[in-house]
Structures are given as C-alpha cells and as structure tokens.
Structure 1
C-alpha cells in the first residue's frame, strides 16, 4: 500500500528526480497514465516528472541532438496530457475515493507548490503548435475544475487573458487566450451553470469590450483597415478574428442562458457591433472570415447562437434580458441600412467547398456556388425584414410595403448575380425549396419569415386578394406556393410532417398553425396555387430540384444560366427532406384553440413538465397564440385567375374520397385517368396536386388523433386537429358549392 499524505507526496517527488533519462521519465508517465485509465494509483507520485517534462533543460541521456528534441517533445506532450486527464476526471467525479485523493494531492503540489499554471501559460507562445494547444486545453480544464470546486476564477489565467485582450495584438498568445476562454464558456453553457457564468463574464467584461472595439470598430480608419487587409498580417489576423467570432457566438448564447439577470456589455457585443461585422463581410480579404462572420449574424438573428456546439437544454431557458428587444432591433436595422447602401453588391460568394478544399474553376467548367453563404445571406435579410415589420406594427403603410418589396428585389438581384436564377418563366416561389431543400430548420425559418412579409404586404398594399397573390408570386413570397412546394418536396408524406410537429424545434409548429388559419380563409387562393405550380414551366423548375447539380456558378464572361436535369416525377420532387428525430424531452410551444373552439392550451404530456420556448423566436409562440385566438378572418369570395383553376373545383369522383396507397406513389391518379401513352392534362395534374395535399393533411390529422387517443402525443393537439378538420371541410364545401351551381 502507498501512503498518500502530503509528506509522502513530496518524498515521492524527490525520488522521481532519480530518473536520469527522458526515456525513464517517459516510461514513468506512461505507466501512470495506464494506471489512471484502469482506475488505480501509480506506484509513485509523478508530479516532479510532469513538471520536469515541461521545463526546458538538458537531456542527460547520451543520444544525438535530433533524438533529444523528439524525446523532449514527446515527454512534454504526455506530461500535459496526463495533467489534463487527471483534472478532467476529478471534475467529472469518475474516480474512486483512493484515486481521487491521490490526484488531488498531486495537483496541489503541481499548481500550488510548483506554480504549474504560469509554466503552462508560457507555452501559449510556443512554436510547437501541438504543445501550445495542449497547454491551452489543460489550462481550461484546470480553470473549470477550480470554478466547480470553489467558484473562483484562476488569478494567473485571468491576469494573462485580460492583459492579452487589452493589448489586442494578433498572435499565438491572444489566440490561445481566446480559445481557452471560449472552451471554458462552452463547457459551462453545456451544464447551464448560470451563477458561475455570470461571475466569469464579469471578470472579463471590460477587457472583452476593449478587444471588440479594436477588432470591430464602428468606423474604420486607416489603422484598423491595414490591420485587416495587409497581406503580411491577414493570415494571422484571420485566425485571431475567427477565434474572436467563436467567442462572440458563445457570449451571445450566454445572454440567453443568463436571461433577465444579465447587465453586462460582453454578451451583447454581436448586436452592438453588427454594423462592423457586416463591413467585415464586405471588406475582409479572407473568404473564410467573411463566411464565419455571416454565419454568426445569421445565428444571432435566429436566436440560435451556439447550436453547432450541442449546448443542449442550457439554451432553452426562455428568458430575455432587458436589452433583448433593442439588441434585435439594432441588428435588423444594421442589416437593412447596409442593404440600402448596396451591401449585397460587395458580398463575395465563391464556389462550394468540399472535403479537401474549394474547387478552382477551369476553363468553361461550371461550379456550384457556396449555398451556405447564399442561405445565410437570404435568412439574415428575411429575418431582419420580419423584425422590422414587427417593430413597425400597425403604423406601417404603403411606403413600408414598397420598402419591403425593394429589399426582396435586391435579394433577387443578389441571387441572380450568383447564378441562382431559374429559367425566364420560372415561378419565383420555387427559390425557397431550391435553396433550402436540404436544410429543414432554415427552410422553416424562411417560410415563416416570408409568411410574415406576405401578411404585412397584404395589410399595407391596399390591393385586393387577387392582386396581392399575384404580387406575392412576383416577389417569391406566396404562402400557398411555399406550402405546396414543401409538400411536393417530401412527396406528400404526412409522416415527415408528423416528425416536424413532434420535434423539439417549434418553428414548423408556429408556421403550420399560422398557415392553416390563413388557408381556411383563402381556400380559393390555395386551389389557384395548385393550378399555378402545375403549369408546364413551373413543373420544369420544380423537377429541377431533384438534380444534384441544379445550382451553378457561371464562368467569368459568360451570361448567368442554370442547367437542369430531367426528373422522373412530373408532379413531385424526389429529393427528400431529412427527418427530424424525436428528442428525449419536449419543450414545445403552447397555443390556444382555433376561433370556433373553446380555449384550451397545448400542454406537454403528463410524463414531461410543461416548458415554454416562446422566446426562441422573436415572432414567438405568443404571437401564434394571439394569431389563433384572435377574431376570425372572413373568407373573401374572390375569383382567382389561374390556369385551369375552375377544373380544380369541378372534377367528380374525387380521389379525396379514397385513401392514398402510400406516400411513395409518384402521382395520385383520379378515377378518370389518361391512357398510358397520353400526357396528363394540366387540369388533371392540378387536381391531383390538390387531392394529394388534402389527403396528406387528412392522414396527418388521423395519425395525430390516434396518438392523442393513446396518450402518445407530447402535447395537447386539439386545436391543431380542429384546424386540420376545417381544411377538410372547406375542401368538401368548395366541391359541393360548385356542383350546386
């Protein structure tokens, strides 16, 4: 048995000095590492060996100088790795009591008696990037251990980082300080340690504000412009700047976690410096910096900062700090102000990246554009417009509708410049499915934003229903077209809609409820849209979505063009939207009943506590609640002009009275079908689209009803079911009205 008192620790440390060669020290540390993996204590204390592995010194082993260098590096690597492993295990409390006591005593010797923290931070500037990174990782782990154990911030680490932030000189030391603080914040956010987060942010608030003011000045002068664009410093600046952007995203996520108690500047810096970030996107010489800054702004406007790091339930607190509304307003106004000054013309979009880098254009070969950039620009603009509309409220008029239309036209010009334009006759509403077809969450956010924009234009333009829908199609924001294209993209599979509804993401639920209420008030517009999207030129655009190479970047000097591939289906798209998996816990939105039903709340099932995520989006679940429980919208009896729209209401023996055999059917045939060698008539195709859409929603209602009956649905869907039933009733009523004429 080995005694683990403080005296014995120092005794073992002294005995380790007898290890004369690096090989002996390396073997000693390897044995200790193996013991920790097996959950046992090493035969001797290795604190002195670890420390000696990090202190530069002469190797007493007689060997060539090259071997000494390699051995010294290997000894340093295993020394730092062992400290990180021990500290991490202590933080997670995964060790036995005996091993825990051994590790605590050894770390006490290293960090208190030997001042290992100062030595590790010296390695932040090491030329060897491996040891530099391992040192930063170990320092971060020790800082977390101290925060969890005593709630105190390491004074050595804090002093070094604050000094580097105030100096703000791009280089290895600043890079490692940024990375270390980001790592600590990331780990704290995953555990939702709100009090510790507040204490840590307070310690760095002033220095971080200074750092951001230097890297993201409100007005760039010659000095700051040179810092960004000098070729000699652009590589180092780009690395440092991206690390700063990572930190800004974590700080933005902290503002959600800390909630109403936040009164610091640093968590708000993404919003405060949004204009400078937009300028970076247009002016930076490094494309990866532009892209990273754009993605930060996109996540900020969507309130999804930190989602790529799987921060978990810590971000779903639903709390807003007191500056939340003003910060979001600042961000949206910064974007729209930049739009007014032709910011989009300066946004660079390169060819799409792939594993290993970015393809270079050769000769006449067309390239795919970077769709990540295109989606980010589109979402940033659309969500900013939505926020602007919500801020204006009922004070908006015709001028506001014209302003919003101008922003949409600017976006279309940007997409055309990047060669995302479709054929000349293409319906612009296709662009949502074309650009966002592989990103479920982004597509839903886009559809929801465009729906808000459409309702705003409908209210402010002063046009009648027919003119409003025509203008919406011209701007690419007709909600009927978007919904039908969504159904086509999933082959009218109700099970995918069910996946969306039971997901922890509430965006589709909010969008779906709002759209269903609008649909029951504008059924004729929906039938007209079925005819519109089934027109030949529309089908050419829709079927092009199944081609893997739809989006192309044109070569220099060549006119913009898009190449389409043939698609097997004539009324649907083969590309599938990825399904959303059902998470363990549900934090779904609560909303009241439809207009005709008694008030009743959407509640989480008995097995899960009710939790609202109304603050996840600025157009939140509270808005959905008001939208549903408000006064009923009268159905306006208008005649819509659309190709073969009258046929949609006049076909007898409808397939609505029959069940579809399955979502995999390429076309839902009516009883009166054309021959095998005859092309389907436009009216027939339009009718089949309408029938498939209604059957899809009917099947969704039936399966949700069964789940609710068996108490398997995660919340009370009664209001949603009533809306779906009303859609079916309007479908039947419209046919009866036509037949009785």
Structure 2
C-alpha cells in the first residue's frame, strides 16, 4: 500500500506539471495558485522522483526534469517577449518570482550544467539564459549564481558539458541583447566577463594550448562553441560603438594568427571551416549576420581600435600567405544532407566551395587593407606583393577547383568561383578594384600597360565589370535591384568603378576586345547555373590558349540570383523604405587619378553608411507612397524582363554568339563592338530608369551624383564614337 501511495503522489505531480505546460502553450493560466504551480515546476526541475529512476507514465526522472526545465524556459521567454495577456503575465511573474527568490531556481539550473545527460545540460543552459535575459531586461541586474558559475568555468573547466553549457548560455544572452538593442546593459555584462573571457581564450587559442586538448573527445564541440562566442563578441564591438571597447571584444583580431593556425593544423574539418568563416566575417565586418535574421545590428560610430584591429587582421593573413599558409589549408569534398556526393568517371569529387570562397574573400579583403599601408613606404615592393599574393591564391584554387588545367585570362575566375553568391562576388570585385587602383598609383606606368599586367594576375576592373554585366545578360533591371539592395556592397563598388571608368575609357574598350562573348559568356552561364556549394562545373581547355571549350552544356536555369529580387506578388512595393536621404551631388567627386587609400574605415558599408559616403549628411524627407501606376509599370517591366531571361536562359549562346563562327578568334572586332555597345546600352537604360524613379520620388535615396557619373560615362562613349568616326 505504501508503494502504491508513493507512485500515486509522483504521478499526480507529473500530471500537474504537464497540465501547466499545456496551459502555457495556449497562453492561459492553470487553476492552481502561483505558489503551488511554482512548487510543482521546481519539483520537476529537481527531478524529485522517489525510488531508483521509477518508471512514471512511460517516462523517468530525467524526463520529469526535462519537462520542468523546459517549462521554466517557456515562462521566461513569454515574459521577455511581452506577448501574454495581462492576467497571465501577472501570474507568470509571480511564478518566476517564487522560483527565483524563494526556491533558488538559478542554483538548481546551474547544477544541471554538469549533468551526465547532455539533453538536460542543454535545456538548463537554454532556460537559464532566457531567465537571465528577462531579468537584465527588467532590472539590468544579472544573476550572481549564473555569473559566478560561468566565470569559474571560463577560468578552469576543461572541455565538457559544464563548459559547453556556460559558453552556450553566455552566447545566447549576448545574442539576445545585441538583437534587442540593449547597448548599455550589453556593455555592463561584457565588462563583468571581460577578464574571465580573456583568460578563457588564452587557454584555448594559442597553438600549444589547443594542440594539447585535441586528445579530448569533446574538444571539437567545445571549440566550435568558443568560436560562436567569439563571433558574438566581435559583433558586439561593432554594435556598442566608441563607448565600450574591451579586450574580449577584440580577441578575433588580436588572436587572428592563432585562428589561422587552427585552420591549417586542426584535425577536425568542421573546426577549420568554422574558424575560417569567422575570420571572413570579421574582415568584412559582418560578424553576426547569420543569426541577426535581417535586423540591423551595426550602425553609428565604431570603436577607436577598429581601424588598427582590421589592419592587424589583414597583416596576419598576408603574412601567413607569404609563409605558404595556403599550402596547408585543407578543402574536402562538398557535403550535402545525404553526406558527401561522389561523381562518376574522371570528374572527381566536387570541392567545398564555401571554403574556396571564404579563403578568396579573406585574402582579397586583407590585401585591400594591407596594400595601401605597405605602399606608403615601398611602392615597387607593394606591386610585387600583389602579384605574389594573387598567384598564391590562383595556385590554391587550381589545386581544388573543378580540375582547372590552364586559364590564360584570370579575371574570369572571380565570376567563375563565386557564381550566385553575389554578395561575396561584389566584395571580391570591390577589393580587387581597390588593389588595382593602389597598384596603378605605385607603378607609375601607363593605363594600358597596367591593365595588361593586371589581366595576368586577375585584377583588371574593366574585365570584372564586363563579366558581371555578361553574367546578368546586360540586364539593367538587375543592376537596379543591386542598387536598391542593402545586402551587398554594390553601390559602393559601382560608384568607385564609374569614377575610374570615366577616366579610362580606352582601357574599357581594350577590355571589351579581350573578353569575347563567345568565350566568356557561356562559361559564366555554366558557373552561375550550377550551385557552387557542391555542383561546380568541370572545364576542359582545348585548342587556342585564349579559348575555353566546355565538355557539356548546362541545364536551363536563371543566370544569376540577385541579392534581393523585387517581390513578384500583386500589390507589393517596388521599393519599401520609410525615408530617403537628400544629398549634395558634388560630394561624390574625387580625383580621377588618385585612388582611395584610407579604406579601412569604409570596408563594410550599411545602407546609411553608403548613402552618407556618396551623398553627404542625410536629411530625412517625407515617406513616399510607392503604389502609383508608374511604380506598377516599373515593376511589371522588371518582372517581364526577368521572365524573358528565364525563358531564354536554356540557350547555350546569346543571339550575337550564335552568329559567330565556332573557331572565331576572341579578339574579333565585331564581338568587341557588340560587347561595348551592349555595355553602354545597359548603363544608359539604368540611367533612364533611375531618372524616372527619381522624378516620381520612388528611389530610396537621392541618386543625383550617381546619375551624374552615368551621364559622364555616356559622354565618354559618345566622344569615343565621334573620334572613331573622324578617323
């Protein structure tokens, strides 16, 4: 009888706990009082089941603990989101107050951090993180029990569930504070953990430290959690602004050499990849974008050490590359949900293009930051460095990417490698443009000589722009999509390139001669039609050294996926912005011959930053209505253009290509004229549509300076045509 009574009591406790959980799932309150509900929840958190893990309603003490801990997280999350009805909110506040103040809930949750059952440890970390965030949100106070546990683990805990729970918990709290815009609270919390975090990363990041930990079977998981926390700390340095600048926020840059060593020496491939992606986001100042979910994390002034930290990171990368770091970087086969894909015949396995792109962007952006600094003291040496770094990159890519045997025009590699990853492609193109401008300034050679040399190591800006236009079939509507998008750096790149283009029209026409439509456009369609994540194409080079022949044609698909395509639903807006910025059209002017050397402050632009860069101080104007007939007309034109491109994308060649002989040499005057004419027509159409949108007040910012540049480029074309006619 006694045994039956105990079983009934436990079963009743479990039923009450599950009933309470069902009520909170429907945003209603249980019938019992807040104190009684808190007692039931706490008994579940503690796993108070008499006997030796007695079976209970098909479950066990571990399952009772999971339900209780999960219910705590549910209550705290509902309170933090402020989505409950007022009566239920008051009820939940009372429950949480009893749990924390009377029953010492936080100590019990922290106790579960080192539970043998990893599910319980993870649930405890998740629930306590929500509780900590809620109390920070309400009173700006942090739980001393939680803080003490994390600090203790950071100073001395080895890789394992306890350290993992502390790492995950702090990372989650910092993410919530970053996304919620709680800068002041975030700064105080970071200050409280600063010394322990520095000690933590000093234990794990130096090579002699992490090499000794690799024998621990739990090392890989713990290290990835360390990298997650490191990315959040890096993101916080961009969010907090100049008011907060802690050493823990700068660890990614300070210990960049150690992270590079991990990429080359770690035995775990997923650790290598995670560290590489962290450095890539750090150099682009995009840390945290994966979990920001479209929210604007970064704005305002940056901290005082950012420029020096970026240069330090860039210096670490180029120094490592000079020491043959790329030779030790491992790139495995591309992975899919079903595992690693194997191919038939002699194609070989497809490489992990995420790694290839990350290495390329990291090196190119590092060169963009490093070369201007090095050029101040040694111009000729800087030009030599550019060649050596890029040759090292091409050698690295040649080892892994699609069995390339020989490429004589390396400018094509940017578009071939990045494919549909337009944000990375534009970052690479912008970096190469800056590298080229600095190289031209240091060399002291003529434009055509410099451009010809630039083609030998793949950084001719005219070639890159023409390849971009060819990849979108010279469709000005896609350029418009890029211009109004905030997800890529196209506006900054486009403005810089147009400034250079108006000063070097002869070099542009020479690039049109070098890039023939029959050679390059099909190769770009091939690369852009295939997912670079795992189905990168295979090239076979035959015949003339300047000619590319494909082993097979591609399937029908879109040419490129823009950063943010216009929504196709009926009644949607072409541009959806709350305000625009007026600008002074002359603020965009710079010297035609002098490149922008101080790029460290502008290596990553958000939409407001870009507008201010080209337009001066922003002045808000009234919100525009975009549902006019003119906007619908522009939208329908854009949609019809995209549909036409989709219908014709299965054709292996453009109309102009089909009229060409298969054996035509790439330096055909007819093809050159065609490429030049299509490029000029595309820019002219872009100027016309932007002008119409500006007139109708549909453009998201004042494009006067951009229109002035486009008009100047058209004038260069007309003068060139007139000069050619007179001859």
TM-score (structure 2 length as normaliser): 0.83
Out of 567, 577, 601, the position equivalent to 2:561 is: 577
Out of 165, 169, 182, the position equivalent to 1:180 is: 169
Q: 1:593 — aligned with what?
A: 585
| CA pair 624-188 structure 1, distance change in 2 beyond 3 A | closer
Q: 1:371 — aligned with what?
A: 353
Matched, 1:250 2:238: no
Aligned residue for 2:23, secondary structure, equals helix
Matched, 1:32 2:38: no
Q: 1:451 — aligned with what?
A: 433
Kept in 2: contact 1:504–1:588 (CA 8 A): no
Q: 1:644 — aligned with what?
A: none
Give distance in 1, aligned partners of 2:491 and 2:112: 51
Give distance in 2, aligned partners of 1:668 and 1:488: 10
Kept in 2: contact 1:492–1:663 (CA 8 A): no
Matched, 1:329 2:311: yes
Q: 1:166 — aligned with what?
A: 155
User: What are the residue-to-residue correspondences of 1:713-724 with 2, within 5 Å?
Assistant: 713-724=699-710
User: What are the residue-to-residue correspondences of 1:227-238 with 2, within 5 Å?
Assistant: 227-228=213-214, 230=215, 233=216, 235-238=217-220
Q: 1:128 — aligned with what?
A: 117
Out of 690, 695, 707, the position equivalent to 2:676 is: 690
| CA pair 128-115 structure 1, distance change in 2 beyond 3 A | same
Q: What number of residue pairs does the alignment pair up?
A: 663
Kept in 1: contact 2:48–2:61 (CA 8 A): no
Give distance in 1, aligned partners of 2:504 and 2:561: 27
| CA pair 346-591 structure 1, distance change in 2 beyond 3 A | farther
Kept in 2: contact 1:422–1:541 (CA 8 A): no
| CA pair 566-240 structure 1, distance change in 2 beyond 3 A | same
User: What are the residue-to-residue correspondences of 1:598-677 with 2, within 5 Å?
Assistant: 617=603
Matched, 1:42 2:35: no
Kept in 1: contact 2:6–2:50 (CA 8 A): no
Q: 2:714 — aligned with what?
A: 728
Give distance in 2, aligned partners of 1:173 and 1:660: 53
| CA pair 268-586 structure 1, distance change in 2 beyond 3 A | farther
Aligned residue for 2:699, secondary structure, equals coil
Q: 1:75 — aligned with what?
A: 64
Q: 1:491 — aligned with what?
A: 473
Out of 48, 51, 58, the position equivalent to 2:42 is: 51
Kept in 1: contact 2:471–2:525 (CA 8 A): no
Kept in 2: contact 1:261–1:321 (CA 8 A): yes
Larger displacement relative to structure 2 (112-121 or 75-84): 75-84
Q: 1:700 — aligned with what?
A: 686
Kept in 1: contact 2:517–2:675 (CA 8 A): no
Larger displacement relative to structure 2 (383-392 or 399-408): 383-392
Give distance in 2, aligned partners of 1:627 and 1:477: 24
Q: 2:245 — aligned with what?
A: 263
Aligned-pair distance for 1:342? Answer: 0.7
Aligned-pair distance for 1:614? Answer: 11
Aligned-pair distance for 1:703? Answer: 1.1
Aligned-pair distance for 1:675? Answer: 6.8
Aligned-pair distance for 1:477? Answer: 0.6
Aligned-pair distance for 1:90? Answer: 1.3
Give distance in 2, aligned partners of 1:587 and 1:465: 41
User: What are the residue-to-residue correspondences of 1:94-493 with 2, within 5 Å?
Assistant: 94-217=83-206, 220-221=207-208, 224-228=210-214, 230=215, 233=216, 235-310=217-292, 312-359=294-341, 366-392=348-374, 394-420=376-402, 422-493=404-475
List gaps (5 residues or longer) in structure 1.
1-16, 555-561, 600-612, 630-658
Give distance in 2, aligned partners of 1:376 and 1:263: 27
Aligned residue for 2:585, secondary structure, equals coil
Give distance in 2, aligned partners of 1:340 and 1:594: 42
Aligned-pair distance for 1:344? Answer: 0.6
| CA pair 589-476 structure 1, distance change in 2 beyond 3 A | farther
Aligned-pair distance for 1:517? Answer: 1.4
Aligned-pair distance for 1:210? Answer: 0.2
Give distance in 2, aligned partners of 1:513 and 1:618: 15
Kept in 2: contact 1:282–1:346 (CA 8 A): yes
Give distance in 2, aligned partners of 1:76 and 1:23: 14
Aligned-pair distance for 1:551? Answer: 4.4
Give distance in 1, aligned partners of 2:590 and 2:378: 33
Deviations 1:601-630 (A, max 9, x none): xxxxxxxxxxxx99662689989988999x
Give distance in 2, aligned partners of 1:715 and 1:542: 32
Give distance in 2, aligned partners of 1:597 and 1:276: 41
Deviations 1:185-205 (A, max 9, x none): 111110110000001101110
Aligned-pair distance for 1:426? Answer: 4.1
Kept in 1: contact 2:423–2:488 (CA 8 A): no
Q: 1:7 — aligned with what?
A: none
Matched, 1:524 2:506: yes
